[in-house]
Amino acid sequence: SPFPATGGEIPWTYRHFTEPYISLAMAAAVTSKIKLGTGITLVPERNPLILAKEISVLDRHSNGRFIFGVGAGWNREEADMMGADFDHRWTQSEEAVSALKQLWTNDQAEFHGRYYDFPPVYSYPKPVQKPHPPVLLGGQAKNVLQRVIRWGDGWLPNRATPSQIQESRMILDTLAAERGRDPASISISVFGQPHDVTRQQIDDYLNAGAIRVSIWPTHCDSEQEMGEQMERIADAVLR
């Protein structure tokens, strides 16, 4: 599959991603306040019975700091290899998250769906956050905001502009009211801003309706390089 952003080859950095939940567990051990999240987890490619426990344990070890960023993917070859239903990947994602919520919130959970089917089981420990960690849906497809209102807690757009955030915030507020949900309970978290983003650019997103902006550092070959880059980012946007 061609890379969506360019229509060309997949960037070489895609071959160097670390496993997110192991990496976040390491981050949880050396931090106490910063939020920890995935951007994103390809839920159609993971078993919800295993994923539910991974997330619960991470949420407990981080004392309720985990944010569950969800995506369905764009690479057909990868999805096929991992056993996902690529043509209906968002339908499968919705069912997977429904199964996860059952496992997180019930003493004994069972699920019977199109993609996932399991008898009554126990899944412990439960997450610290109640009823569960916030579920943020990635993607910028035309139906994403309807999905957010139907089964998510927020939107996690990648490379959106402040004007797109402002417009989408208004749409989310309207959709939430129509569905009987509190618009304030639906968040927008901007994902993937470049490492050289400025404080003014972040303020533009916050003023447009986002509650947080995550910054994507450039690739580094050592922890020291990453630490130096994180210091530069902090100097630019926090201090």
**Residues 168/142, Cβ–Cβ less than 8 Å:** no
pLDDT at 15 over 70: no
User: Vertex 231, ends 137 and 20: CA angle to 5°?
Assistant: 35
User: Vertex 24, ends 159 and 192: CA angle to 5°?
Assistant: 5
Which top CATH class is 1-133?
A: alpha beta
In this prediction the pTM is 0.93
Fold match flag (1-133 vs 138-239): yes
**Residues 233/217, Cβ–Cβ less than 8 Å:** yes
Give the model's confidence band at 221: pLDDT under 50 very low, under 70 low, under 90 confident, else very high.
Answer: confident
Distance of alpha carbon 119 from alpha carbon 110, whole angstroms: 5
Region 216-235: what's the mean pLDDT? 90
Say which CATH architecture domain 138-239 belongs to: Alpha-Beta Barrel (3.20)
User: Vertex 87, ends 81 and 92: CA angle to 5°?
Assistant: 80
Residues 6+ apart with CB under 8 A from 129: 59, 64, 66
Give the model's confidence band at 61: pLDDT under 50 very low, under 70 low, under 90 confident, else very high.
Answer: very high
Mean pLDDT over each residue of the chain, to the nearest integer:
94
For 79-138, the pLDDT digits (tens) are 999 999 999 999 999 999 999 999 999 999 999 999 999 999 999 999 999 999 999 999
Which residue did the predictor score with more confidence, 139 or 12? Answer: 139
pLDDT score recorded for residue 9: 76
pLDDT score recorded for residue 14: 67
- Comparing 59-73, 160-174, 224-238, the range with the smallest average pLDDT is 224-238
Neighbour tally for 89: CB within 10 Å: 20
Calculate what percentage of the chain has a pLDDT beyond 70.
Answer: 97
| Domains of the chain, residue spans | 1-133, 138-239
